[in-house]
Structures are given as structure tokens and as C-alpha cells.
Amino acid sequence: MQLELVLREGQFRVVDTNHPDGRAWTLREYMDDWNRDLSADADQTGEEYGLLPDEQAVIEMLHDGHRSGSICVTRDGVIECQPL
């Protein structure tokens, strides 16, 4: 529920290894950056990756990560990604 509230605000903050101080995103920005990173990885490895087709896919991915424990939402509404 807390993740859904954070996502509904239109912009959310993510802390991860690439952004240890956090970065604010919209769903579209997050999707575009994610897809850019996957495309760059595919160019380097020669493997194909499934890109996120729309903002709903971002929401589903974040919810899956939350359920699995790979991300959490802090009390101040920041999404923290756990290192792999």
C-alpha cells in the first residue's frame, strides 16, 4: 500500500547503487532510463532483454520487487533498492 501511495504522487525518489543520494523520477523517466540501460547491456553482451513497454510495466516491476524484498519503501516515501 505504501508503495502505491508513493507512485501515485507522480514523482518518486529512488536510492540505489547508481544513485546513493537518491534521484527523483516520474514513471516515464524511470522506464526510459531502465530501457536505455538494458539496451546498453544488450549491446555489450549480445543478449536480448525484455524492455518495459509502458508505465504500467514499471509499476508491476516495482510491486514485484517490493513483494520479493529487493526494494523497500522508507517512512519518508523513498524507494530503496537492495544491492544484488
Three-class SS of the chain: CHHHHHHHCCCEEEECCCCCCCEEECHHHHHHHHHHHHHHHHHHHCCCCCCCCCHHHHHHHHHHHHHHCCEEECCCCEEEECCC
The predicted-structure confidence for 53-66, as pLDDT tens digits, reads as follows 999 999 999 999 99
Residue 5 pLDDT level (bands cut at 50, 70, 90)? very high
Rounded CA-CA distance 16/53 in Å is 22
pLDDT of amino acid 84: 58
C-alpha cell at 30: 524511470
**Average pLDDT for 22-36:** 96
Q: Which of 1-5, 13-17, 63-67 has the lowest mean pLDDT?
A: 1-5
The boundaries of the domain holding residue 17 are 2-81
Q: Which of 6-15, 36-45, 65-74, 75-84 has the lowest mean pLDDT?
A: 75-84
* Total structural domains within the chain: 1
